[in-house]
Amino acid sequence: MKVLVTVKRVIDYNVKVRVKSDNSDVDLANVKMAINPFCEIAVEEAVRLKEAGTASEVVVVSVGPKAVQEQIRTALALGADRGIHIETEESPESLNVAKLLAKVIDEEKPELVILGKQAIDTDNNQTGQMLAALTDMPQGTFASEVKLEDGKAMVTREVDGGLQTVALNLPAIVTTDLRLNEPRYASLPNIMKAKRKPLAVKTAEELGVELKAHTQLLKVAPPAERQAGIKVASIDELVEKLKNEAKVI
């Protein structure tokens, strides 16, 4: 069984994000970049399926400028077999990414496609659902557990009311939630091996996809600073401040 996994290049989650002085976008100059944490979980799940003998090949794909090859190589060091880089000048919006991935699915014919449920930069939570619609494949989103049995993917989903388990006929699309697994660290020998693993580069034109802008970024601003809280000595003082200062009661 072939598993296709997507990864996105984002600002490392440990880095404090800076906004450009003109508020046009986020400042990426000299900023450490990494694999989107949810995508890292997706890679780990695919590698575990291969280690269990369920999957025979793990293919990782990413969309963006040449710099995303760094994240593809990281995924290869984590255990993926080969990479596909769809080269674009910038990171396109969700619908364009879904269209590009749909073309890759047509070529690769994977039995299972695993994506992170969302990226920590745009936070859209759209690509997996759009990809399922474009490919007419069943989908299991927000997965906290995935089991493959009898030609089906049993996906336990995290929903508002608790947990829901759905049975998906393969091929299927799964998006990962935080509690699905804990990603491993890439060892130095595997990092060296990853440099020799195959990485194909394609373009949107080669895949027959025209990248169109459907949204416009108007402004980026940091969140408003919050005032520091205070400690109160008694319940009476708390009630007095809530009533007379905060005016919420």
Mean pLDDT of 149-162: 91
Helix (H, G, I), strand (E, B) or coil at 60: strand
d(CA 118, CA 139): 15
Asked if residue 214 has pLDDT above 90, the reply is: no
Give the pLDDT of residue 100: 97
Burial of residue 57 (CB within 10 Å: 0-12, 13-18, 19+) is: middle
Average pLDDT, the chain: 94
Asked if residue 193 has pLDDT above 90, the reply is: yes
The model's confidence at residue 56, banded by pLDDT at 50, 70 and 90, is very high
Give the pLDDT of residue 61: 97
Contact yes or no for 48/181 (Cβ under 8 A): yes
Minimum mean pLDDT range among 74-78, 212-216, 232-236: 212-216
Model pLDDT for residues 82-100, shown as the tens digit of each residue: 999 999 988 889 999 999 9
Q: Where are the alpha helices (DSSP H) in 35-147?
A: 37-51, 69-77, 94-108, 127-135
Fold of 2-215: Rossmann fold (3.40.50)
Q: Where in the chain are the domains?
A: 2-215
Burial of residue 41 (CB within 10 Å: 0-12, 13-18, 19+) is: buried
d(CA 117, CA 144): 11
Model pLDDT for residues 11-43, shown as the tens digit of each residue: 999 999 889 989 988 988 889 999 999 999 999
63 C-beta neighbours (distance < 10 Å), count: 27
Mean pLDDT of 225-237: 89
pTM: 0.87
